Structure 1
Amino acid sequence: MRIAVFAGDGIGPEVIGEAVRVLEALGIDGLELVEGDVGGAAYRKHGHPLPPETLDIARSCGAILFGAVGDFSLDHLDRQLRPEQAVLGLRRELGLFANLRPATVFKGLEDLTTLRPEVAAAIDLLIVRELNGDVYFGEKGIRTLEDGRRQGYDIMSYAEDEVRRIAHTGFKAAMGRGRRLCSVDKANVLDTSQLWRDVMIEVSAEYPEVELSHMYVDNAAMQLVKDPGQFDVVVTGNMFGDILSDQASMCVGSIGLLASASLAEGTFGLYEPIHGSAPDIAGKGLANPMATILSAAMLLRHSYQLEAEASRIEAAVSKALADGVRGGDLGGSAGTREIGDAVIARL
């Protein structure tokens, strides 16, 4: 059970440290953790945010536990050398095409969201986001027009096999949940979205038990605030999914509680909290590690099929929250290490 541990920048090493302590506390036989450099930390040490030795480590492991990347002091670099390219590079090189972001309100935290408590309490959804296509990976650049004006362009595109692959991921997830899937697009404006919708309908024929619905992305953003309890599984493209999953995180109270999984074909995956590197609090022991700890639970579930161990971690986090152990992001005063201790004590 060889797991790559890429802590990254900012609060990454702090939150990763607590997740590693939780994994080790489970006493899993054969657990081996291998550290590697990514992001700004890797650039300073190796001259690149995703050096070859880090990729070699990733390819030798069954899963990756990832912290965070981002360093404002390196924003002057060419885009391909900026810390964030580590994540995009891993997705591309390792075929990580499906991002799973669950969003659930933990019992007792309903009053901490910006929604009415009774609205927030109903949230239990999973956003399935395609990761390898869309404008993030399409042709892009800045050019000069004939009249001298500069023009930026980013091409949005999806091939039908890319849509079909993420559709199957979404429908399979729905089969294990409430058997309702909402496909989010902008088919009234974008031809890319029209193809997306057509393929989703085609794939739905293979999953007659799942109820398929469609929603334009602007309406989906509104409905996530108005009535988030209506959603079970949401499947959408790269850019729309990036936006909606962050919106969902605030609907449940804090971005510090949400884990994510980026999956390839088979069992390989990269697991990370959805928050950033938070350089303003880095090194102060203030970061909430719960999202990273919950990401470790997803790693055990999806890459190693260790459901019992994953459930133990999730139950321990839930119990710690119910007992009032909360970081600053939840209005509490518990520090990073204290939160890790609390979760381990409840295992």
Structure 2
Amino acid sequence: MKIAVLPGDGIGSEIVAEAVKVLKALDLSFEMEEAPVGGAAYEVSGHPLPDSTLNLAKAADAILFGAVGDWKYDTLDRPLRPEQAILGLRKHLGLFANFRPAICYEQLTHASSLKPELVAGLDILIIRELTGDIYFGQPRGRRVATDGHFPGAEEAFDTMRYSRPEIERIAHVAFQAARLRDKRVTSVDKANVLETFQLWKDVVTEVGQHYPDVALDHMYVDNAAMQLVRAPKRFDVIVTGNMFGDILSDEASMLTGSIGMLPSASLNAQNKGLYEPSHGSAPDIAGKGIANPLATILSAAMMLRFSLGQAAAADRIEQAVKTVLAQGFRTVDIAEAGAKTVGTAAMGDAVVAALTAQG
């Protein structure tokens, strides 16, 4: 089992180190190779996704990813910014299906920004299409106005687009996932305004006819954003496009207590995947040793389950995380009065200790 380890920028190296520590505590044989990505790669090679890193990712069975980005790179031309690395990996590896579970652990109901009764037992799976939509649509760019009325004024444009095959494949993923859960799919769109999402709604409806055992409803994205706050447990599986999924999954993260608790998996048709926490690089706290590594550790568990065929090991990691939360260990983002507030490395150590105690 070959794992490409791409820590990236900001807190990426800190949180990935803890996930690697947990993986090494398992009685499994891994070959792990590390490479720079994002701003870290730009510093050494002049590009956020150098060929050596991309080739390592292609050759690996799975990719463990940290985070990319830093404010100091905001003045670079867009193709050289750190965030282009993750977009490039998605495109080159065909990572079209993004799984973002939002689970509120029993011990963290009071850490949520919502009332405990609204989030207790919350278990949502957001499935985001990852290689289409406005992030990849053509044409895109900027133009300088030439009418002379506002000299130097600019306009910018990005094109939202989806094809039928792109929508069909992500819809099948969502319905198949729902069959393993509560058999409910909510497709989120903006079909009342956007032709792109009228096609989305039509195609998802057609695919849904192949899954008569799964209930399907449709919801406009603005209503979905409201319902996630008003009654989040009404959802089971949410399937939506790239941009809407990006926004809604971050909103859902706060239902769980912290975005530091949300893992994610980005998969291609062969179940090869890139696994990363849903949060970003957080350069404001980088190097302080206070970042929450649990989302990355849980992402490693997803990697074991989806790409490496090690479901039992994934279960062990997830149980270890529940154990440390029950023991009262908290990083600052999920801490409450009386909690054992610990740093990044100490939280990783606690998960390893819980794994070891399982025998």
Letter in 2 for 1:243: I
Alignment partner of 2:253 out of 241, 249, 260: 249
- Equivalent runs, 1:146-295 vs 2, <5 Å: 146-148=146-148, 149-295=153-299
SS of residue paired to 1:141: strand
Q: Is the 8 A contact 2:42 2:82 kept in 1?
A: yes
**Is 1:339 the equivalent of 2:343?**
no
- Equivalent runs, 1:89-128 vs 2, <5 Å: 89-128=88-127
User: Normalising by the residue count of structure 2, what TM-score does the alignment of the two structures yield?
Assistant: 0.95
Shift of the alpha carbon at 1:140?
1.3
Q: Which residue of 2 aligns with 1:14?
A: 14
Runs of 4+ aligned structure 1 residues displaced above 3 Å come to none
Letter in 1 for 2:34: E
Alpha-carbon distance between aligned partners in 1 of 2:140 and 2:249, rounded to the nearest angstrom: 24
Q: Is the 8 A contact 2:104 2:120 kept in 1?
A: yes
Q: Which residue of 1 aligns with 2:70?
A: 71
Once the two structures are superposed, what CA deviation does each residue of 1:39-89 show, in whole Å capped at 9, x if it has no partner? 000000111000000011011101000001011111110000001111000
Alpha-carbon distance between aligned partners in 2 of 1:199 and 1:214, rounded to the nearest angstrom: 12
Q: Is the 8 A contact 2:106 2:121 kept in 1?
A: no
Alpha-carbon distance between aligned partners in 2 of 1:91 and 1:28, rounded to the nearest angstrom: 28
Q: Which residue of 2 aligns with 1:39?
A: 38
Once the two structures are superposed, what CA deviation does each residue of 1:168-198 show, in whole Å capped at 9, x if it has no partner? 1101110111100000000011110000001
**Is 1:299 the equivalent of 2:303?**
yes
Q: Sequence identity of aligned pairs in percent?
A: 60
Alpha-carbon distance between aligned partners in 2 of 1:117 and 1:107, rounded to the nearest angstrom: 9
Letter in 1 for 2:191: A
Alpha-carbon distance between aligned partners in 1 of 2:85 and 2:324, rounded to the nearest angstrom: 33
Once the two structures are superposed, what CA deviation does each residue of 1:214-245 show, in whole Å capped at 9, x if it has no partner? 00000000000000000000000000000000
Alpha-carbon distance between aligned partners in 1 of 2:48 and 2:157, rounded to the nearest angstrom: 25
Shift of the alpha carbon at 1:146?
4.6
**Is 1:313 the equivalent of 2:321?**
no
Alpha-carbon distance between aligned partners in 1 of 2:277 and 2:173, rounded to the nearest angstrom: 20
Alpha-carbon distance between aligned partners in 1 of 2:9 and 2:274, rounded to the nearest angstrom: 17
Structure 1 residue runs of 5 or longer lacking an equivalent are none
Q: Is the 8 A contact 2:105 2:121 kept in 1?
A: no
Letter in 1 for 2:7: A
User: Normalising by the residue count of structure 1, what TM-score does the alignment of the two structures yield?
Assistant: 0.98
SS of residue paired to 2:134: helix
**Is 1:329 the equivalent of 2:328?**
no
SS of residue paired to 1:102: strand
Once the two structures are superposed, what CA deviation does each residue of 1:254-274 show, in whole Å capped at 9, x if it has no partner? 000000000011120000001
Q: Which residue of 2 aligns with 1:53?
A: 52
Letter in 2 for 1:41: A
